[in-house]
């Protein structure tokens, strides 16, 4: 557990206890007169406490979203932590079609000329935790995030990355963030595919996943620890192949051939396929593909991420 995050969570819990205590005092109906005094005293005592003991450490959700998927996740983070929000806007929006955006981003990446922002500076002074959200573009965070990092100082902040993607990029983008912001405390990242976020009932799925993600953060879980409970990789059975085929039937980005698999039993089963991947006629490389199969009768196998 990192210290700043630990203190963030401890302070948050402390605040919740204080609020609950005040609420209980204020709502009690056994001895109204006495309770009135108690509530008054408690309020006075709370007012005398140092600010950090009476209010949760404030967090800020900073995000960029071109087509709205990341914005949906940003809203979930905002609500879950009652955070303030800063939406990064480019001075000139990207073109409206996917192909022309790809072309524009390619030029930016090749020249490292990051886009000018309409709102370059965020007032970060009063926040110790920044939830930083972005779409994955070209395997890592979208260019406006570089622009934001160039104009703002995240030193000493707890930075919690979250992203949306077509197939993956969560780990790679968080790793790049760690490299670019060595003085920030960059935590585990949350990620979700744009397909899952636009599916029916996505709101409750994302909220539940974000809560589970917070629990993992609070427990100080690392990427390696999240892999706990997976079996050894083994050759594919016909059933594994059927799960892979069902989950990837609409996946058109890259050619994927499953080679072996390991599984983890949760409420359903996680499958981690080791696959041969070919990108745009390029050489074959290996990648992991995570698929979740719900319990029987609860839905079809779902592609969670293609790790790159």
Residues that bind ligand FMN (CB under 6 A): 65-71, 98, 101-102, 105, 135-139, 164-169, 194
Question: How far is residue 140 from each of residues 54, 186, 307, measured CA to CA in Å?
Answer: 38, 15, 12
Q: Which is nearer to ligand FMN, 8 or 77 (CB)?
A: 77
| DSSP labels, 84-102 | EEEE--BSSPPPSSHHHHH
Looking at the Cβ atoms of 59 and 164, the one nearer to ligand FMN is 164
**CA 35, CA 126: separation in Å to the nearest integer?**
35
Find out whether 258 and 237 touch, Cβ atoms under 8 Å: no
Q: How many CB atoms lie within 10 A of CB 264?
A: 17
Q: Taking the complex as a whole, how short is the minimal distance between the CB of residue 164 and ligand FMN, in angstroms?
A: 3
Strand boundaries in 194-242, DSSP class E:
234-235
CA dihedral (1, 168, 205, 56) positive or negative = positive
Of the two residues 30 and 97, which places its CB atom closer to ligand FMN in the complex? 97
Please write down the HEC assignment for all residues of 258-278: EEEEEEEEECEEEEEEEEEEE
- Nearest distance from residue 272's CB to ligand FMN, in Å? 18
- Least Å distance, CB 191 to ligand FMN, is 9
Report the nearest approach of ligand FMN to the CB of residue 135 (Å): 3
Nearer to ligand FMN, 60 or 136 (CB): 136
Task: Kindly tell me which of 10 and 92 has the beta carbon lying closer to ligand FMN.
Answer: 92
* DSSP letter assigned to residue 182: T
DSSP 117: B
Going by C-alpha positions, the residue among 252, 237, 272, 239 that lies closest to residue 195 is 252
Q: Give me the least distance between CB of 18 and ligand FMN, in Å please.
A: 37
- Supply the minimum distance, in Å, between the C-beta of residue 67 and ligand FMN: 3
H or E element that contains 137 = strand 129-137
Q: How near is the Cβ of 106 to ligand FMN at its closest, in Å?
A: 8
Among residues 69 and 185, whose Cβ is nearest to ligand FMN? 69
* Shorter beta-carbon distance to ligand FMN: residue 57 or 66: 66
Neighbours of 74 (CB within 10 A): 25
Closest CA to 291 of 307, 276, 277, 278: 307
Q: What is the DSSP letter of 200?
A: T
């Amino acid at each position: 557990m990192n210290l700043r995050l630990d203190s963030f969570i401890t302070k948050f819990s402390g605040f919740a206890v204080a609020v609950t205590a005040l609420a209980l005092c204020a709502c009690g109906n056994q001895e109204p007169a006495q309770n009135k005094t108690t509530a008054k005293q408690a309020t006075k005592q709370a007012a005398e406490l140092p600010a950090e003991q009476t209010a949760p450490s404030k967090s800020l959700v900073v995000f960029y979203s071109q087509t709205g998927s990341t914005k949906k996740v940003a809203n979930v983070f905002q609500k879950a932590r009652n955070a303030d929000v800063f939406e990064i806007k480019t001075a000139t929006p990207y073109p409206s079609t996917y192909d022309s955006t790809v072309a524009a981003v390619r030029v930016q990446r090749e020249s490292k000329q990051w886009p000018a922002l309409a709102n370059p500076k965020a007032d970060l002074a009063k926040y110790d935790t920044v939830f930083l959200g972005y779409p994955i573009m070209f395997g890592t965070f979208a260019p406006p995030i570089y622009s934001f990092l160039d104009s703002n100082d995240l030193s000493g902040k707890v930075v919690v990355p979250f992203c949306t993607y077509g197939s993956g990029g969560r780990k790679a983008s968080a790793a790049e963030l760690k490299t670019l912001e060595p003085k920030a405390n960059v935590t585990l990242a949350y990620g979700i595919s744009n397909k899952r976020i636009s599916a029916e009932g996505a709101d409750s799925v994302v909220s539940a996943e974000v809560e589970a993600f917070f629990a993992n953060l609070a427990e100080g879980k690392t990427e390696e620890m999240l892999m706990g409970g997976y079996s050894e990789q083994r050759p594919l059975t016909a059933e594994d192949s059927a799960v892979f085929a069902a989950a990837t039937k609409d996946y058109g980005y890259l050619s994927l051939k499953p080679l072996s698999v390991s599984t983890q039993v949760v409420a359903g089963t996680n499958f981690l396929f080791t696959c041969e991947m070919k990108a745009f006629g390029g050489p074959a490389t290996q990648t992991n593909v995570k698929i979740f199969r719900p319990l029987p009768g609860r839905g079809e196998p779902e592609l969670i991420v293609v790790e790159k």
